[in-house]
Amino acid sequence: MNVAPRYLGRGSWLARRDPRVLILAIALFVFAVVQVWDGRLMVVLAVVAFLYYRTAGIPFRAVRYQWAYVLIFVGFIVTTNTIITGGELRGIDPRSVHTYFYLPLFGTPVSAESTSYAITQLLRFLSMAALGFPIAFAIGPSDIGPAFARLHVPDRFAYAIDLTFRFIPSLAGEMQTTIDAQRIRGYDYERVGRGPLGRIRRTVPVLVPVTINAIVGAEDTIDAMDLRCFGTGRRTWLRELVMDRTDRALLVGFALLFLLVTVLAFNGASNLWVFPFLIPG
Amino acid sequence: MSTMGMSRNGLWEVSSRVIVYAAIGAALYAISAQFSMLIPGTASVSVRPGFAFVTFFGFAFGPVAGLFTGLVGNALADQISGWGLLTSWNWSVAAGVVGLLAGLTPSFLKSWMGTPSRMLAAAAVGPAVAVIVGYLIVISDIVLGTAENLNVVFADNYGPVVVSNVITVVILTPILVAAWQPIKEQLGR
């Protein structure tokens, strides 16, 4: 089990940026992109997102499973939205849709409008995921805490985020060790049968010892923090973060993109746009 | 400093103990969220045993630890899987609210939780109610465009997640509380 943060983008253009820029960039982009249902604007935003992703220099081979997960999950969201809504789309008169055919069993119409909706939603999620990957793979794990602290997240919470990243590799290792130890005693988590309730119960021999060990082991960390007078004064961070001109330019670029998209959304970009090539005849 | 014996005034204190327990909870949730199992006969309902960490850390160590475990743990789990830290930020907020509400349970039921069996009952019922209430936040999916309307939210998002998480927390939270209680007394917390 290897869930430790991997610094795959080390040395890339984006990894050399101030980590605060990466966090603010995705926040601005997510709030921009959720306003858009115009496919033309979404294509532009998707291009921006993937150009940004390219600058992180993350090798595709190392993240192909994560991309596969994203594609499957997005595909599932898009499909269920289409099926459950029965082809009803916000701002579209059901009598004016260009229907291709009806889905067997569900009776849901598949139309030029619902296909445009699906394409736009697909692009939206893929764009958001593209901006999310650099946070996982192009920020040095030791920079996470200082980055949140310098974003004015309260010191204690910033430190807790930093601690979380530090705990992940050791606790993942501990969980794997516990699973192996229980296997020697005949434990088999993947054994089929007895339904979901049985499977939940089968996690108990792993979750309970891992949790209790982690909590008991944390006493040393707590004592160490208390002995160093943690929380009695304002915390300082060893890592200094300084934004250079490129960082500021990138941040201003994303802020302008957010403002532009917001203005466009008030002027029609929040309405679904149907791709002309999908309209029959 | 566990909430299971904490006064209401101390609930919101962010001590080094709360910070470390919250960080452990978030890390455990993020790691264990990688293990989920599909409920047979459904299209999308999966049970995530790791969700019990959110309610357990809230119930045992207070609302601040619960909020952090849910909020940061869920965001990190999404990040590890590739989905992205903020792509479904409202789901992370919902998980955080579940942890926070689970953390308030012992304070509100303190006088009722006199016996071990009643405490375990509270550890099952409180978190279950927290899941039902906390996940109402995912209705915001309509505004964010993840769900087209309320039918989608309840049929595809809220309903399946609440069912699977209630099953998980009702079984696992009391077990974790029962395992933690003697250790807590041994450590003098």
Q: Domain containing B171 — which CATH number?
A: 1.10.1760.20
Structural domain boundaries, residue B151? 3-187
A17 pLDDT exceeds 90? yes
Report residue A38 as tokens.
């115009």
Pair A157, A171 in one domain: yes
Average pLDDT across chain B, whole number: 86
Report residue A244 as tokens.
């250079």
Identify from A53, A207, A220 which residue to disrupt to test chain B contact, counting B C-beta atoms within 10 A and taking the largest count: A207
Pair A111, A88 in one domain: yes
Of A52-56, A71-75, B102-106, B141-145, minimum mean pLDDT range: B141-145
Give the pLDDT of residue B43.
47
Find residue A102's DSSP bridge partners: A109
Report residue B46 as tokens.
């999966």
CB contact B151 to A (< 8 Å): yes
Pair A96, A201 in one domain: no
Pair A209, A164 in one domain: yes
Is residue A72 assigned to a domain? yes
CA nearest neighbour of B64 among B77, B74, B54: B54
CB contact A119 to B (< 8 Å): no
Q: What span, in angstroms and rounded, lies between the C-alpha atoms of A18 and A140? A: 10
Q: How far is CA B39 from the centre of its chain?
A: 20
Q: What is the ipTM of this complex?
A: 0.88
Pair A151, A131 in one domain: no
Residues A212, B15: C-beta atoms closer than 8 Å: no
Contacts of A280 (CB under 8 A, 6+ apart): A98, A100, A112
Give the pLDDT of residue B160.
85
Answer with the residue of higher pLDDT: A107 or B117. B117
Q: DSSP alpha helices (H): ranges in chain A?
A: 19-33, 39-54, 60-84, 112-137, 144-150, 155-184, 195-202, 204-227, 245-264
Q: What span, in angstroms and rounded, lies between the C-alpha atoms of B106 and B127? A: 10
Q: What size, in residues, is chain A?
A: 281
CA distance to A5, A183, A230, B127, per residue, from A234 (Å): 28, 47, 9, 35
pLDDT band at B20 (very low <50, low <70, confident <90, very high): very high
Is residue A223 assigned to a domain? yes
Task: Provide, as residue numbers in chain B, all residues whose Cβ is less than 8 Å from the Cβ of A157.
Answer: 14, 68
Q: Are B157 and B138 in contact (CB under 8 A)?
A: yes
Is residue A187 assigned to a domain? yes
**190-209 of A, contacting B, C-beta below 8 A:** 195-197, 199-201, 203-204, 207-208
CA dihedral (B6, B12, B14, B15) in degrees, to 10, reads -20
Indicate the residue of A160, A171, A215 with minimum beta-carbon distance to B19.
A160
Report residue B40 as tokens.
């047979």
pLDDT band at B125 (very low <50, low <70, confident <90, very high): very high
Count of the separate structural domains present in chain B: 1
Residue percentage of chain B with pLDDT more than 70: 88
Pair A132, A170 in one domain: no
Q: What span, in angstroms and rounded, lies between the C-alpha atoms of B2 and B15? A: 12
Q: Are A175 and A206 in contact (CB under 8 A)?
A: yes
Is residue A10 assigned to a domain? no
Pair A50, A136 in one domain: yes
Average pLDDT across chain A, whole number: 88
Count of the separate structural domains present in chain A: 2
Q: What span, in angstroms and rounded, lies between the C-alpha atoms of A117 and A134? A: 27
In terms of average pLDDT, the best of A94-98, A274-278, B121-125 is B121-125
Tell me the angle at which helices A19-33 and A39-54 cross, rounded to the nearest 10 degrees.
170
Closest CA in chain A for residue B150: A85
CB contact A218 to B (< 8 Å): yes
Looking at A227, A253, A270, the residue that finishes a domain is: A227
The mean pLDDT value for A181-195 works out to: 77
The mean pLDDT value for B116-130 works out to: 94
Pair A206, A159 in one domain: yes
Structural domain boundaries, residue A257? 19-140+242-278
DSSP B189: -
Report residue A223 as tokens.
């004592």
Q: What span, in angstroms and rounded, lies between the C-alpha atoms of A251 and A243? A: 10
Pair A27, A69 in one domain: yes
Closest CA of chain A from B31, distance in Å: 6
CB contact A30 to B (< 8 Å): yes
